[in-house]
């Protein structure tokens, strides 16, 4: 035998070695019992048959996205509010519908806006991960085509999307992580949007029936009545609904805490949009702008009775150049503003003065009004806080 023949015999042959033959047995998926069965089937097929491997294993990918970090339910919902504002909405309504008894609540969350809506082909793209019409555009709010889906799935395993550009011409898409997890195809394609001449009853009742909180139903401004024609008159010629049924991952267990936290945070975050004309509702109660700098004359602090000075004073402002990335010379401008609160005008014993904790209210005293709660200190009764 020549040296060349000996070398050829010693070379490992692709697909013929014992390691290659035993791959399927050696690398068997060791998944949890509740892991997506469709994903397990795809992975086993790939290992046994050396089938083509998709860049994303959809069956497990959508489950993993449920764990994308949001600080709170409110922060996730702000993704939907941002999208609505970018779509030109003048009215946005957020709903927390809670049924059942304590310890066994079912909470459904929904966001409605009267923005320009989406045609079916755009709706389908919007349902896909990475589907964005403004990818990488820093002038747009949604840049990556991920926010709406990850925000919805962070609360519920299902996202239902409804959109229309004329009354009673509704297109819908459903993203169901459990259904996707059962698929056995290597590559999963989205179906075409479904057409309907109306909204499903469980969606329509959000607009015509009061939520369980606030308890005082007169405090809720419903969009429409029970009549179908009235509903479409109020919904408008175009709009979008994002529905998250049977939420299993929320910041709070009760609708009261969910509503109060969303109201508090969104009053601050969207104060400029609200002052600019946006109607924002949480459980049918309108959100009023809250300005932590007290510089906006249209914010709710300016309506407190007895105030002589309505706004703070701008002391100084400075533009600061901030690098957009460590490796690039490109910068963006941030404006730093310093405000002075009119403490002297408010006065120590004026309507905004805090009552110290060492002077408790009498047992028969009236509780402080809701507007006087929330500056951050337990003893404070000032309406300045959110």
- Which of 256-265, 306-315, 345-354 comes out lowest in average pLDDT? 345-354
pTM beyond 0.85: no
Closest CA to 146 of 258, 40, 81, 65: 65
Query: Which range among 105-119, 130-144, 175-189, 298-312 shows the weakest confidence by mean pLDDT?
Result: 130-144
**Are 235 and 227 spatial neighbours (Cβ–Cβ below 8 Å)?**
no
pLDDT at 27 (0 to 100): 66
**Could you tell me the pLDDT band of residue 129, with boundaries at 50, 70 and 90?**
confident
Residue 179 predicted with pLDDT over 90? no
Residue 192 has pLDDT above 90, yes or no: yes
Q: Is the pLDDT of residue 212 over 90?
A: yes
Q: What are the pLDDT digits (tens) for 228-279?
A: 778 999 999 999 999 999 999 999 999 999 999 999 999 999 999 999 999 9
Half-sphere exposure (Cβ direction) of 372: Cα atoms closer than 13 Å: 14
Contact between 313 and 340 under an 8 Å Cβ cutoff? The reply is yes
CA distances from 189 to 180, 253, 370 (A): 10, 35, 51
For residues 154 and 250, is the Cβ–Cβ distance under 8 A?
no
Minimal CA–CA distance to 214: which of 372, 299, 95? 95
| CB of 80 closer than 8 Å to CB of 112 | no
**pLDDT at residue number 15:** 45
Question: 374 pLDDT band (50/70/90 cuts)?
Answer: very low
């Amino acid at each position: 035998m020549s040296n060349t023949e000996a070398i050829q015999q010693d070379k490992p042959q692709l697909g013929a070695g014992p390691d290659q033959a035993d791959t399927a047995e050696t690398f068997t998926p060791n998944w949890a019992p509740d892991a997506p069965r469709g994903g397990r089937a795809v992975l086993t097929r790939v290992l046994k048959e050396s089938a083509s491997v998709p860049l994303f294993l959809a069956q497990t990918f959508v489950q993993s996205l449920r764990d994308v970090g949001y600080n709170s339910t409110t922060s996730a919902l702000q993704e939907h509010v941002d999208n609505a504002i970018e779509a030109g909405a003048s009215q946005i309504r957020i709903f927390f519908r809670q049924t059942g008894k304590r310890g066994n609540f079912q909470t459904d969350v929904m966001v409605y806006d009267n923005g320009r809506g989406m045609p079916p082909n755009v709706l389908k793209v919007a349902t896909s991960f990475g589907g964005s019409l403004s990818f990488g555009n820093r002038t747009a709010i949604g840049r990556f085509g991920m926010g709406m889906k990850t925000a919805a799935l962070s609360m519920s395993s299902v996202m239902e999307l409804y959109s229309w550009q004329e009354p009673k011409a509704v297109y819908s898409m459903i993203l169901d992580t459990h259904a996707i997890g059962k698929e056995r195809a290597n590559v999963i394609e989205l179906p075409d949007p479904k057409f309907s001449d109306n909204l499903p009853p469980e969606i329509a009742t959000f607009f015509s029936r009061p939520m369980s909180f606030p308890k005082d139903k007169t405090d809720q401004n419903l969009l429409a009545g029970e009549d179908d024609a009235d509903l479409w008159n109020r919904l408008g010629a175009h709009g979008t609904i994002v529905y998250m049924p049977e939420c299993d991952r929320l910041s709070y267990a009760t609708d009261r805490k969910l509503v109060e936290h969303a109201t508090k945070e969104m009053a601050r975050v969207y104060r400029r949009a609200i002052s600019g004309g946006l109607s924002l509702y949480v459980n049918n109660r309108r959100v009023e702008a809250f300005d932590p700098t007290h510089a906006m004359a249209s914010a709710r602090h300016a309506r407190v009775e007895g105030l002589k000075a309505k706004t703070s004073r701008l002391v100084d402002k400075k533009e600061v150049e901030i690098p957009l990335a460590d490796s690039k010379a490109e910068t963006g401008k941030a404006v730093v503003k310093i405000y002075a609160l009119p403490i002297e005008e408010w006065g120590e014993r004026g309507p905004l003065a805090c009552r110290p904790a060492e002077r408790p209210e009498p047992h028969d005293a009236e509780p402080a009004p809701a507007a006087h709660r929330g500056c951050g200190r337990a003893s404070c009764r000032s309406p300045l806080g959110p």
